[in-house]
Structure 1
Amino acid sequence: MTALTVPSAVVEQVGGFPFLDPEFVPARLLTAAACCRWTRAHPHTAAAPTRDELTAVLQPERARQIRRLDLHLDLPYGDLTEGQHHQITQTRAAIVRWLPDWAPLINLPLRFHALIHSEAISASVFAWPQHIFLADPAFASPTTLAEQVTHETSHQWLYLIEELWPLQQPDAARIRVTLPSGTPGRSPAELLGASHVTVNLRRLWTHMPVTDTRRRHRLAHLHNYGTACAHLLADVRDALTVDGQALAHRLTQELTTR
């Protein structure tokens, strides 16, 4: 994928992309998203928001209420057990120990629910900002839970970007691709999300305390999956915005290297 000739607003405003670029400034993106949310919730108010008001709209439930003003999606969900919540807390802390530079990303305010009536192991949706849904199989082992927490947290950060800067063109919804996993009907933005997760899981598996055999096996699978994603990204380039193309370029750099 060729380099961009038009600057990316994401790169210029927040330093790059979450998990990918050391120059990315999480607090800058969160502040921008908070201002955007507060403005949507108070369209007729001329006063500037206070620090406390901006902090409030970065809480998961308030974020969902604001999103529902123009994107209403009801989802079935259940409650996780106290033990499962404890496992999530331990897992997030472990990821931060393995990858300290991920601390402000993994520690994003999130609300976790039980995923029900689905064959998926975990899920996130743009309509429910900062909410993650986990099925019982996500808790099968510490490595599985670490993968799913990283996976869905990665989606949450791209959703934050998409609140401010769309990653696909308005008419891109008509374009659908099948992911390397065989999952059909995904949009170009969802392909970006899958590719982003793959890059982040590769880094996670490089640092998780597992046997060399398990590490090599998982990394080989992720490399093959990522290479296939890179080919698909090239095919949908014209359906992406400038910021989407910038993200695709960075992802392709990561996905095509070992």
Structure 2
Amino acid sequence: MGLPMKDRTFVSTQLGGWPFLDDRHAPQRLLTAVACVRLTRRDGPSPAPPLEALAAVLAPAEALRIRALDLPQPPPTGRLCPTRHRAVHDALRLIAELVPAWSTLLNTLPVTYLPLPAAHAGSSASCFAWPQHILLADRAFTSSAILAEQVLHELCHQWLYLCEELVPVQRPGSLPRFTLPSGTAGRSPAEVLGAAHVTCALARLWPRLAVPAPVRDRRLARLDAYQRGCRALLTDTRPYLTTHGHALADRLLERSA
């Protein structure tokens, strides 16, 4: 999948494009760059950090601790039972079989999976303040297709958060909030980009899932409607995006057209 010729940003030139959007994306290069940024934030500049130090800051617990230096929030808690951990592993394997180009994205990022509290309205959750932590509700385990969708959904967010550690996609300061096509309100410009990013990935996964045709058709129709809503929102977010945010928005519009 080619990149827009006008896009000469760091993500396109050094990382091969955006995760889950561009099959030329280089996940290992992104992880190395993020590890260097985290080490610098934690310990100060280092001319040649050892490999073990780079690996250490990519552990979910340490990633959470480093993020709390700038963005403290109570960390998520809880534990998935072994059966559900196996189900997540099976979901990752299924997605990799269906979209082999995503295999490295699915298997190289250390992620801690936790239960999502029952009071939460969604099926899954993650946030920038909790790097490499994904929360899954009971309803996410209803079927293999639903779990694959929710796992992919949150991994899209996690990899985009990694990009944002290097290159913010929205301008700093107080920014307006937007309502997503789902009706979820209070979302930042970066979160609008994130929602559109997830939808592009799901629209690639769902035609390949082994589900009854009516189920697939209904889900793809809803994803198409959501994509149309996101395209309109991306126009509204333009004044508040950085150069990288504009590049991502352009790529999302290209993929969802």
TM-score bracket for this pair, using the shorter chain length: over 0.9
SS at match of 1:48: coil
Query: Contact between 2:175 and 2:240, CA under 8 Å: does it hold in 1?
Result: no
In structure 2, the partner of 1:139 is: 141
SS at match of 1:15: coil
CA deviation vs aligned residue, 1:212-243 (integer Å, no higher than 9, x gap): 22222211110111011001101111111010
In structure 2, the partner of 1:9 is: 10
Q: Map 1:167-186 to 2 at 5 A.
A: 167-171=169-173, 173-186=174-187
Cα distance in 2 for residues equivalent to 1:7 and 1:25: 16
Give, in angstroms, the shift of residue 73 of structure 1: 0.6
Give, in angstroms, the shift of residue 75 of structure 1: 3.9
Runs of 5+ consecutive residues of structure 1 not aligned to the other structure:
none
Cα distance in 2 for residues equivalent to 1:89 and 1:59: 18
Cα distance in 2 for residues equivalent to 1:59 and 1:75: 15
Cα distance in 2 for residues equivalent to 1:106 and 1:36: 22
In structure 1, the partner of 2:231 is: 230
Query: Contact between 2:30 and 2:163, CA under 8 Å: does it hold in 1?
Result: yes
Cα distance in 1 for residues equivalent to 2:5 and 2:205: 28
Verify: 1:33 aligned to 2:34, yes or no.
yes
The one-letter code of the counterpart of 1:207 is: R
In structure 1, the partner of 2:86 is: 86
In structure 2, the partner of 1:148 is: 150
The one-letter code of the counterpart of 1:196 is: H
In structure 2, the partner of 1:66 is: 66
Q: Percent identity?
A: 48
CA deviation vs aligned residue, 1:8-47 (integer Å, no higher than 9, x gap): 222122111001112211111111001111111111x645
CA deviation vs aligned residue, 1:66-102 (integer Å, no higher than 9, x gap): 1112211104532111111111111111111111111
Give, in angstroms, the shift of residue 5 of structure 1: 5.8
Cα distance in 2 for residues equivalent to 1:159 and 1:56: 18
Runs of 5+ consecutive residues of structure 2 not aligned to the other structure:
none
SS at match of 1:34: helix
Query: Contact between 2:40 and 2:46, CA under 8 Å: does it hold in 1?
Result: no
TM-score of the aligned structures, taking structure 2 as reference length: 0.93
State which drifts further: 143-152 or 8-17. Answer: 8-17
